[in-house]
Amino acid sequence: MKTISENASFGGTQGVYSHASTACNCEMTFGLFLPAEARDGPVPVLWYLSGLTCTHENAMNKAGAQTWAAEHGIAVVFPDTSPRGDDVADDEAYDLGKGAGFYVNATQDPWKPHFQMWDYIAEELPAFLGAHFALDMDRQGITGHSMGGHGALTLAMNLPGRFLSVSAFAPIANPTGSDWGRKQLTAYLGEDDAKWAKHDASLLMADVGFDGPVLIDQGAADQFLDLLKPEALAAALASKRQQGSFRMQPAYDHSYFFVSTFMEDHVAFHAEALYGG
């Protein structure tokens, strides 16, 4: 592991680290906020998965999560959104390739050699974090924005028992029915859409649901509503009678102004679950 930076933040430490990833076959970078309580022993951890075009830095610098995580004594991990490097496949479009890993394991060329983001987030990075930092890996929550909200929801429902709580900001809610999804799932997983279902939060919610509380915030003035398809997820939550809340927030768009506004609510929501509230 390489320490890129460590800065004092709200009594704790905001670090940025890199390591050689076996899953992605490249050097991967992540941010990790550790509250003051981590000096005395393992603390619960909240995952924040970012959206299209983002790196580990966007939420780390813009979401304001450290303020509220410090208040509740929770660590926050900010992974990257894709593999990186000169030999990593890319595309001219902003919504495919680097910065657009979609939290899946690619089975198609040229993506397959590096784009194994599901394994990286579900297996490799948790094991790495647990081995190197004072984190209680039995108490994990997960959240994310846009493509990261998609990743948070699909990981949470596909890994029962892993996460005690899940939330999302403006998630890509129904990628199998959206241009933010069909394009990427075809490229990464192939044209057999039967293989896409485990990566669609609305389909998963209607089928299996989540064994814990769910919180979704969606801006009513989001410029990407037609691509996000929040109505599909809202319907699935209702049909499954899922424990959770889906909130349409008037006037808010897709930006980090929206995310930072409701970050306090989301961290408090996860803290209640992580501390057995």
Check residue 122 and give its pLDDT. 98
Average pLDDT over residues 135-158: 98
SS3 label, residue 197: helix
pTM of structure: 0.98
- From the list 50, 146, 167, 178, the catalytic residue is 146
Alpha helices of the chain — where are they, by DSSP H? 57-62, 65-72, 117-119, 125-132, 147-158, 179-189, 201-207, 225-228, 230-240, 256-274
Whether 80 is catalytic: no
The per-residue pLDDT for range 165-211, each reduced to its tens digit, is 999 999 999 999 999 999 999 999 999 999 999 999 999 999 999 99
Percent of the chain predicted with pLDDT > 70: 100
Catalytic residue among 80, 200, 217, 222: 222
Angle at 83 between CA 124 and CA 233, to 5 degrees: 80
> Which candidate in 72, 145, 254, 270 is catalytic?
254
Q: What pLDDT, on a 0 to 100 scale, did the predictor assign at position 277? A: 53
222 is catalytic: yes
